Amino acid sequence: MNIILLAPPAAGKGTQAELLDEKYHLNHISTGDLLRNAASREDDFGKKLKEIMASGALVSDEIVLEMLEDHLEKSANQNLLFDGFPRTIHQAELLDEMLEKKNDKINYVFLLDVEEDILKKRITGRRICGKCNSVYNVNVEALNPKQENVCDKCGEKLYQRVDDNEESFNIRYQEYLEKTSPLINYYQESQKLYRIDSNQRKEVVFDSICKIIENNK
Ligand code: AMP
């Protein structure tokens, strides 16, 4: 079972990926996490990546695909859960090619649908654990950490992403509309797209996703 989580910024991809991973034991691949990891290097490449990502623009397809292929080579290839990938039609086409070569395919594309004003509120309140990547939100009561700025799961300090501000959000949202939202039609045509109302609590969203998976088993 291979899954794609398709969504605008701060719609809850990371949170749903974590829940799906816990329940179905998937190989969770977040291109955002892979890129943040590469951007933390002090060399020229790391600095350039950091700059692009902080601005809210997408990183080039070449860089993302090279990083992804490298990561897939080193990890288990079954039950892939893509979080934040593909983000362009070109990435989607290359992913299809990569999977076809292995006689594999994408089974579900869950489109997490959230209104723009809710996304804006979520983005400025998002806090992430520096150790286990768990996601919290200080603007959403149900997603507050129990202790301010501390991860409930591992006790590590929480941090705010440099691109989680209104200015970067506006660019990220534009990038989403221009480059990523055409994927909705792409996957609708192959009847893999499931639209999930994600304006709701994370448990409700997760439940909707699981029902679709269970009904198709
Ligand atoms: P995310 O963690 O998914 O919100 O991604 C954070 C940032 O990483 C994005 O704003 C982009 O700059 C970059 N990024 C992540 N995934 C991709 C991708 N598939 N294609 C291009 N850029 C990406």
Nearest CA to ligand 1 atom 2: 32
With bands split at pLDDT 50, 70 and 90, how would you rate the model's confidence at 74? confident
Mutate to test the pocket of ligand 1, among 30, 58, 171 (most ligand atoms within 8 A of CB): 58
Ligand 1: does its nearest atom lie under 6 Å from the Cβ of 202? no
Nearest-angstrom CA–CA distance, 217 and 212: 9
SS3 207: helix
Span 194-201, mean pLDDT?
A: 95
With bands split at pLDDT 50, 70 and 90, how would you rate the model's confidence at 10? very high
pLDDT of residue 161: 93
Ligand 1: does its nearest atom lie under 6 Å from the Cβ of 35? yes
pLDDT of residue 54: 94
Q: Which range (72-81, 89-98, 205-214) has the least confidence?
A: 72-81
The alpha carbon of 31 and the centre of ligand 1 are apart by a number of angstroms equal to: 6
Phi, psi of 25, deg, nearest 5 = 50, 70
Percent of the chain with pLDDT strictly greater than 70? 100
Residue pLDDT, tens place only, 34-55: 999 999 999 999 999 999 999 9
Question: 93-107 burial, b for 16+ CB within 10 Å, e for fewer?
Answer: ebbbeeeeeeeeebe
Nearest-angstrom CA–CA distance, 176 and 194: 18
Percent of the chain with pLDDT strictly greater than 90? 92
Catalytic residues: 13, 87, 126, 161, 172
Residue pLDDT, tens place only, 122-136: 999 999 999 998 899
The alpha carbon of 205 and the centre of ligand 1 are apart by a number of angstroms equal to: 22
pLDDT of residue 34: 95
With bands split at pLDDT 50, 70 and 90, how would you rate the model's confidence at 4? very high
The alpha carbon of 32 and the centre of ligand 1 are apart by a number of angstroms equal to: 5
Nearest-angstrom CA–CA distance, 46 and 41: 5
